[in-house]
Chain A
């Protein structure tokens, strides 16, 4: 049994090279078919995303294609020269290949550590290969394990917890403060790029109302149209702040536009409802003492940046535990695969041994009893066949169960015992 992966990713290859050998849309199924036809008897899964193209192959040592053969097939399929991408490729084999897949599924190889998309992409790649019938017992087992490991790593290490962009952190903060958003008003002060970027994320909260205030009412109106909100002139700032629950301020004003006294009056008019103010302007738009008021959470760009840094560190602290899980799971997956294959051989030999004994005994009986009619012979043969099946039913079931156990010892003690008990090594 051999397993290998050949591919490139964002760390090794520029986007242009990745694009040149990508399997987008219908190309994925075509590519799988191409590989399966060329290397009959081998299994294939192609994982193709914007950050990576990886071809997983598995099969017997004599049938599995070499790295060179995969590269040539890849070049032939895309009708490009192998030299154009060969230097960026990596290849891993057997245990390293399984470990590689587990690391990819766990997002340890991703551009953004802990991102959740890759697990879905691995699942999609596997499902397409299943649909195209290019997956066999080896890659079935390995990819199903990878999906489970990817989920387990995220659950047990917190690798995917905490957002890494300022806008995403802002969304998480809003969720920590507010329970529902359909009854909330988002006020955006300013109509620049930062306002657009933040609104893009805040839109996912589906707020009830979006109000945009800008010194230029025209720009505010344009932004309001883009985001399905309403524009207000700048002189209505206080009124808008009274209505707002979540404020995003992004102006380029040289001085704070909201003083402490001003906001104290606003908060009184708001009847002290909870407020989240995201002051991402530099210099700041809100007097920082506003953050000391009850029921007001004021975050400036440094605070948000600090949270992204803390989240990044937290994710990085999960790499060690994640690697340990992956190493253990890789060993367990390979052990199970080996046991399953070994169990397959033992089961086949056990069946052959039983068939041979039955046939020999039948022939001996027929020789000793030449007067048996054809009907008698068939009845005896049928009875012996049933006896053989019933006799071997439990040993076979036990072997199949043992094969699924992630026991490191090879061969599995039960498989070794069956081989010895029935003398299968001598066959």
Chain B
């Protein structure tokens, strides 16, 4: 209940910041920009306090549940958005970043299960945290790539159709969006790969120590591998000159869709996954570790 209320506090404030930024289409005033910035700063500060409190109470990084993971992801993206809005209050960054932040928080509040991924200590706990951090960084890069890709596509469409720049929606140059997008794509794949491998290593480490087992046929595993492959295809495209521009940006959006499905698809569609459950939801045909022992490791 307290979790829900607190999430509602800062998610609502981010939502108000989004409304304030969307008001740029109707209200032209410097004070509107300052209001957006102020609301974002307030929401981010409350979220920071909330996460710090959770970390203090649990004595570990707040990455032990899918719920916390989404909160931290939205917090990091919120920090990037806040920095960009403070740096250029007139630019329409908030219009693109805030819906993702609010969406992640809504998913965290409404969908994510709050059971701890790991109930182990020692090395497994350490590798679990590394696994979580790597995937989180990869997911953050995917979010940044998505936002810049979207901005690129809108700006590119306008320029191709030879329309004048919108006074309501000032966007960064194509080159700037492309540069940030390329950097995010380049970082996302190795981080997701490392996160995936540490997840597999964790499964091996926990062999015989956990009551839950995850098989290759687990929807979470399939979607994670699909998201990872999509990220790989995107990285490949990013290095092919003939794919530059719109094609890479469209692939970025697709890759982001895979990632979103991996993050919230299990909860949203109530798919029977053993990942993140304390008991096996659906016994797999073949164990990921090749053994019958269950585990509580995470691959995403």
Contact = CB atoms under 8 A, between A and B. Distances in A.
Contacts of A295: 244-245
Contacts of B167: 158, 161-162, 314
B175 A162 contact: no
Contacts of B28: 155-158
Nearest to A173: B159
8 shortest A-B CB distances, which residue pairs? A271-B241, A179-B176, A179-B175, A272-B241, A295-B245, A156-B28, A272-B244, A310-B164
Interface string A135-157: 00000000000000000000111
A291 B162 CA distance: 10
A235 interface: no
**Chain A interface extent, by class:** 20 to 34
Most chain A beta-carbon contacts within 10 A, residue among B30, B162, B178, B246: B162
Contact of A176 (B155, B241, B245, B247): B155
Interface of B: 28-30, 155, 159-160, 162-165, 167, 171-176, 178-179, 241-242, 244-247
Nearest to A183: B175
Given A155-B30, A297-B159, 4 more contacts: A161-B167, A172-B165, A179-B172, A310-B163
B173 A178 contact: yes
A172 B158 CA distance: 13
A307 interface: yes
Most chain A beta-carbon contacts within 10 A, residue among B159, B175, B246: B175
A297 B152 CA distance: 14
A294 B242 CA distance: 9
A385 to B, nearest CB: 46
Contact of A179 (B179, B242, B245, B246): B179
Contact of A303 (B30, B162, B172, B247): B162
A338 to B, nearest CB: 27
A263 interface: no
Nearest to A162: B164
Most chain B beta-carbon contacts within 10 A, residue among A155, A172, A295, A310: A295
Given A157-B28, A158-B28, A176 B164 contact: no
B212 to A, nearest CB: 48
Given A172-B165, A310-B164, A294 B247 contact: yes
A197 interface: no
B153 to A, nearest CB: 12
A340 B245 CA distance: 61
A414 interface: no
A158 B245 CA distance: 31
Contacts of A310: 163-164
B175 A156 contact: no
A273 B243 CA distance: 11
B173 A155 contact: no
A180 B175 contact: yes
A273 B241 CA distance: 8
B175 A177 contact: yes
Contacts of B159: 173, 176-177, 297
A380 interface: no
9 contacts: A156-B28, A157-B28, A179-B172, A179-B175, A272-B241, A272-B242, A274-B174, A274-B178, A295-B245
Interface in A270-284: 271-274
A299 interface: yes
Contacts of A272: 241-242, 244-245
